[in-house]
Amino acid sequence: MFRTILAVAVLLAAVPNLAHAQSKPKGARVAVNGMQMYYEVSGKGAPLIVLHGAYMNIPTMGAIIPKLAKTHQVYALEFQGHGRTTDIDRPITYPNLADDVAAFMDAVGLKKADVFGYSLGAAAALQLAIRHPEKVNKLAAASVSYDAEGMQPEFKEFIPHMKVEMFLEMPFAKEYPKLAANPKGFPELARKLIAIEKEPMAWGEQVKALKTPVLIIAGDADVTTLEHTVSMFRLLGGGGAGDMGKPLSASRLAILPATSHTAVITQVDALIGVIEPFLKGVTPKGMFAAE
């Protein structure tokens, strides 16, 4: 999504040292829906799939992957046309990306897993839970939206003016050939990612019907409005009064302070601090909770 465009420009400058510092994970490719999908496996524990943002790849996700790998067996994927995964003659859409993840799980023998996604990856993960609920245990979605109307007005106004040429001199465009299966494939990737911004997005009814527990993570200055984020939490059954004798919603909401969209994925300690308790089912005890 466009929200990751500024993020990647920052991350490509800041993340490489983190990426080089981590121990070498096991990388491989697998045939998925006509493409060769690259993925890396690291850590031990319950399986956790990690999905990156638009124009990103596994290295530009930074320190969050090795942190998660301390307590989980992490499967970090690279989407169609991103990183080392090949592109194919097919639009990049959220349903397509979700179906790719489902096919990946079948290919590597993962029946069910927790999922963490950021931005484009979070929307794809949300579609995975909608389209393939049997494959998702719990979903942590950072900087996600379920309706195009939930984006900040400035971003909505900019989308119709987006052109491939705007991105060709961006840092992530210059970095693209270093990993890409097709080093000249960036303009086509940009064209497809611009197109996904213009696709209709109105998933309210599907989100409301979800049984999958979802942790929504957003910055308080994210590209989606706070009102939209709270609305999504309410669709998932959250936002009621605690301490009133009723159990809390299985879904959760975390707002990171002083955090823009580009900063969400860099707040590693804050992310771990909310993701781990959610995946473990740990709930803070109130004053009147039984011992």
pLDDT digits (tens, 9 = 90+) for 37-55: 999 999 999 999 999 999 9
Q: What's the average model confidence in pLDDT over 83-109?
A: 98
Supply the pLDDT for residue 7: 41
Supply the pLDDT for residue 289: 64
In this predicted model, which residue has the larger pLDDT, 8 or 79? 79
In angstroms, the CA 27 to CA 76 distance is 9
In angstroms, the CA 40 to CA 192 distance is 24
**Distant-in-sequence contacts of 179-183, Cβ < 8 A, 24+ apart:** 179/57, 179/59, 179/83, 179/84, 180/83, 180/84, 181/36, 181/84, 181/85, 181/86, 181/87, 182/86, 182/87
Number of domains composing the chain: 1
Helices 94-108 and 120-131, axial angle in degrees (round to 10): 70
Asked whether residue 7 is assigned to any structural domain, the reply reads no
When pLDDT is cut at 50, 70 and 90, the band that residue 247 belongs to is confident
**Amino acid in the structure at residue 251:** S
Range of the domain at 232: 26-280
Counting Cβ atoms within 10 Å, is residue 123 exposed (0-12), middle (13-18) or buried (19+)? buried
Asked whether residue 97 is assigned to any structural domain, the reply reads yes
**Amino acid in the structure at residue 222:** D
Mean pLDDT of the chain: 91
The β-bridge partners of 41 are: 26, 75
Does residue 13 surpass a pLDDT of 50? no
Supply the pLDDT for residue 240: 84
Supply the pLDDT for residue 21: 40
Are 83 and 107 in contact, with CB atoms under 8 Å apart? no
- At 60, list the tokens: 């530009």
In angstroms, the CA 33 to CA 13 distance is 33
Question: Where residue 120 sits, what CATH number does that domain have?
Answer: 3.40.50.1820
Supply the pLDDT for residue 80: 98
Asked whether residue 169 is assigned to any structural domain, the reply reads yes
In angstroms, the CA 236 to CA 252 distance is 9
Q: What's the average model confidence in pLDDT over 199-221?
A: 97
Asked whether residue 288 is assigned to any structural domain, the reply reads no
Supply the pLDDT for residue 23: 56
How far, in whole angstroms, is CA 78 from its chain's centroid?
11
When pLDDT is cut at 50, 70 and 90, the band that residue 241 belongs to is confident
Does residue 154 surpass a pLDDT of 80? yes
In angstroms, the CA 197 to CA 195 distance is 5
Asked whether residue 126 is assigned to any structural domain, the reply reads yes
* Percent of the chain scoring above 90 in pLDDT: 84
Q: What's the average model confidence in pLDDT over 47-65?
A: 97
Supply the pLDDT for residue 291: 56
Asked whether residue 2 is assigned to any structural domain, the reply reads no
Pick from 32, 104, 34: nearest CA to 75: 104
Asked whether residue 291 is assigned to any structural domain, the reply reads no
When pLDDT is cut at 50, 70 and 90, the band that residue 248 belongs to is confident
Q: What is the pTM of this model?
A: 0.91
Asked whether residue 18 is assigned to any structural domain, the reply reads no
Least confident of 37-46, 95-104, 164-173, 204-213: 164-173
